[in-house]
Amino acid sequence: MQHGPPSTDAGGGCLCSSPSTGLSCRARMAAGGRLPSALPAARVRAAFLSFFQQQHGHRRLPSAPVRPRGDPSLLFVNAGMNQFKPIFLGTAHPRSELSRYRRVVNSQKCVRAGGKHNDLEDVGRDGCHHTFFEMLGNWSFGDYFKEEACSMAWELLTEVYEIPKDRLYVTYFGGDSSLGLSADEECRDVWLQLGVPASRVLPFPLKDNFWEMGDTGPCGPCTEIHYDHVGGGRNAAALVNQGSPDVVEIWNLVFMQYNREVEGNLLPLPQHHVDTGMGLERLVAVLQNKRSNYDTDLFTPILDAIHKGCGAPRYQGLIGDADAGRVNMAYRVVADHVRTLCVCITDGIYPGLSGAELVLRRILRRAVRFCSEVLRAPPGLLASLVPTVVEVLVFWPTLVLLLGQVMNIINENEAAFLSSLERGRRVIERTVQQMQPSTNFPADVAWSLYGNLGFPLDLIDLMLEEKGIRLDSDAFNELVQEDAKVREAQGAQAGQLEGTDMHLDVHSLAQLRNDNVPATDDSPKYSYKLGQHGQYEFSPCQATVLMLYRDQSLQKEVGAGQRCGVILDRTNFYAEQGGQASDQGYLIRLGQQDILFPVESVHLCGGYVVHEVTAVETLRAGDQVQLFVDEARRLACMTNHTATHLLNFALRHVLGDRTEQRGSHVMAERLRFDFDIQGPVTVEQLQRVEQVVQDVIKRNEAVHMAEVPLALARRVQGLRAMDEEYPDPVRIVSLGVPVETVLTCDSEAARQTSVELCCGTHLLQTGAMEDLAIVSERQLVKGVSRVIAVTGRQAKQAREVGQCLAVEVDSVSIRMKQRSTSVAEMQNLSKEVGQLTKVRITTAMPQWQRKELQTILKALQRTANTAIKKLEMQQAEEKVQSLLTKHCNQPVIIDTVPADSLSILMKVVNQLCDKSPGTSVLLLSPQASGEVLCACQVSKDCIPVFSAADWAMAVCTQMEGKAGGSPVVAKGSGNAKGIQGALTTALEFARSKL
């Protein structure tokens, strides 16, 4: 993403002097005046970036997308430091761009609406909480530290933005005796040297001034800068960190100097870093002299657009009890949430059913709820705000490109929720009618509305409040806690699995580098060739054990039976990365051919390849080993990785260039590929995608691979590259076209084939793939689809299965057209259709064929059901005529009749009652199995005295069976031994009621 040109306004002078008054910002603020409107948010952002870039030599970086990159611990990017975690953890590849960063600056898009940082429920209640915000930040990675960071911050705030110094307060870490941490007097002294009065340099404890990335990992003391909105020469030190709306934090400077270990203890980091974050929205409020972020030009255009779109009273900024009907709260919620929706959708997060997608779904539904329930806006208001949001956030150009798509997704999801609202209202109405007076609304129903229909909990409370009833909160909270325990257990289980991985910690990585242990040479993983007969030959690899890793520490020796990570000087094993699963295999010590050390998985950490091994004998640093990759597994992964590239190309070729990859995973057994899609993928499109792939396979195209400088690679026309960090130089994989050709300036060759940046292992020619079959395609969320494909023998087997099933379906179809006159035969055909439908669902076959067969089988099932119903009606009519003749004009008919099924027996009863109004009927039908079927219907004239359900129950109980139904119709079954007694009981029961 490209940013606009940097501002040149931050040259050390005031950004916003007012020619009309001759007063600077400082003078106007001291005089109690408002800052001039000539300081829009765009200039505030530009001044920040320009200050660090031009005056202090920071490299300006684009914002990362709000979808986290390779970090399953986060739902959304929630801080500027997220994209730099590999630097803090020491895991950045030494050849990657990340590893070369020293001082950088950016404005990061952040979403805090789930996980540790969750402001969703607070949005709208005040003037400062947001789900989406921009975090301005500057970083130092092992470069400058406390003195420079504080000095730069003070210079920017007081000299560039010209915020009066007497309105600023700074805090520092006051120490923690339980952790053995003393006060950060170094930071305190820096502020004092910068001229900040001692009365405004305030110590605070761990919870306020010590920042941690998570339960473990890099952390350190921080210093915060707070702003007093009131000013006027007063001393507001007592209000700092007290939650006062008058004194607010505007900037946090974190000094990363410790690492929190698993046991909880703190160890000094090998390198010190600076990580700062300042919310743009809050800073703009200060510089525009506003008490609420919603009164700044980041929100006022959106609030105006809401007013025009809904006709509600104009936004007045009211909060709490003063906000009658919560109209102003609704304005804030909608304005905030539509910004979040725009940013998330353009970054590839769509409303869905799990994870970040589920959170976004709740955000959208919360916004829709406030639009419809509070602002009384017509459907479509939310989407109509998108163009205004794009104008306000023009700094992010992808918003402009995807404006139409964002509006469509919002409209579709709004329509679905409004439909759910109606269903929810009916559920609540029905439940309330069935409730006993003065009881609480059942928690399980509320939980179903919350979980299945996506109802916000506050909406459920509101709808119940309108009916004068309350939710059983205790029971509901128990359900919430149960759900949380299940999720926590699942997370713990996942964590246990994750814990078996041998990922090097930051201290071990630093120790390896300090000891000059070289990064692993893993180039031998690419050492393979085609033999004379077309088979792949993998070169042997001999290596030296450099270090062993166990229990989060580097060791020179590991005993027999212990699980450890083995770091070698070189390896031919592929470490899991780029979506490709790691190699497996074994290693042996030279001279000990009969002792195998199985390699279970392989990881890449900061340039070191770690082989996860269970030592069958003692392993020592210095041991000479020979490595053997599981060649069948490797070849399967190579095949599926090349197939993934080819599939990516084919999907774009068939569905259009805007079909962007969202993720992939390559395993030996299959491949998975996620991509953007505007609508459902049709049968014809799936067939065409497979055909494109098969054409390339038949041509047996050569797969070209070469390492080139990253900057040169990024200039390739039509290059497919994921949003991730690549090493420099980077590996290019091109199908059918030599790499030097696609690198040629303005070469169109790359647009006609698959060209990707990829570190994975690939086939040398596409013919070895043999075939590719897409065996599954489904939408993960609106706008993102997932395909699963198999190659080679598995693909051919899937096609054979599909063809066999198609033949069986054709056979059933032909027999169905013969129109059997037997209900039993037609029922057997219906069962066959059901069995074939189950096979279609559960068996691997081409997805296009699965969809085709689904259509055919559904039609056959409808035909069979219609035919069965028609034949049963015909049989029933014959029996009805006989019974009417036998029981002419009787108020009660009780008899036995032959019937092949309960369905036919019920039809006989129904038709009898239709042709003889006022008659009540009970029929029994003995079956060859010894069972007796029972069906009855009572004339409506006899209700409620005479109940069909009670009648059937009395009769079937006599036969030691069961029955059920309504006062009008009922059915059941019993044992043939009691049939005579049952007929007597039926007659006696009827006489007692009539």
**Residues tagged in the binding site annotation for Zn(2+):** 641, 645, 758, 762
Annotated binding site: 641, 645, 758, 762
- Peptide bond just before 944 cis, omega within 30 deg: yes
Q: Which residue has the tokens 């139904």?
A: 965
Pairing outcome for strands 892-896 and 920-926: parallel
C-alpha of 453 from chain center: 18
Q: Which residue has the tokens 């709740």?
A: 362
Measured distance CA(413)–CA(403) in Å, rounded: 16
- The CA-atom distances, in angstroms, between 759 and each of 98, 429, 575 are 17, 58, 10
Helix (H, G, I), strand (E, B) or coil at 484: helix
Q: N- to C-terminal Cα distance for the chain?
A: 83
C-alpha radius of gyration, the chain, whole number: 36
Pairing outcome for strands 168-173 and 201-204: parallel
Would residue 427 be called left, alpha or beta, if left means φ above 0 and alpha means ψ between -120 and 50 degrees?
alpha
Q: Which residues contact 197 (CB under 8 A, 6 or more apart)?
A: none
Degrees, nearest 5: CA angle 294-295-301: 80
Structure tokens at 169: 């307060």
Q: Which residues contact 370 (CB under 8 A, 6 or more apart)?
A: 124, 329, 330, 333, 334
Could you count the other beta carbons within 10 Å of the beta carbon of residue 852?
A: 18
- Peptide bond just before 378 cis, omega within 30 deg: no
The residue type at 935: A
Measured distance CA(939)–CA(934) in Å, rounded: 17
Q: Which residues contact 603 (CB under 8 A, 6 or more apart)?
A: 501, 502, 503, 565, 575, 576, 582, 609, 610, 612
| 8 Å CB contact between 225 and 153 | yes
Q: Single out the residue of 793, 792, 754, 795 nearest to residue 774, CA to CA.
A: 795
Could you count the other beta carbons within 10 Å of the beta carbon of residue 556?
A: 11
| 8 Å CB contact between 353 and 361 | yes
Structure tokens at 498: 């994750």
Q: Which residues contact 72 (CB under 8 A, 6 or more apart)?
A: none
Edge-to-edge strands, sheet with 920-926: 892-896, 920-926, 931-937, 969-975, 962-965
Degrees, nearest 5: CA angle 67-778-350: 30
| 8 Å CB contact between 578 and 530 | no
Q: Which residues contact 814 (CB under 8 A, 6 or more apart)?
A: none
Measured distance CA(963)–CA(122) in Å, rounded: 54
Measured distance CA(791)–CA(80) in Å, rounded: 41
- For the chain, the farthest-separated pair of C-alpha atoms sits apart, in whole angstroms, at 113
Q: Which residues of 815-826 are buried (b: 16+ CB within 10 A; e: fewer)?
A: ebeeeeeebeeb
Q: Which residues of 867-893 are buried (b: 16+ CB within 10 A; e: fewer)?
A: bbeebbeebbeebbeebbeebeeeebb
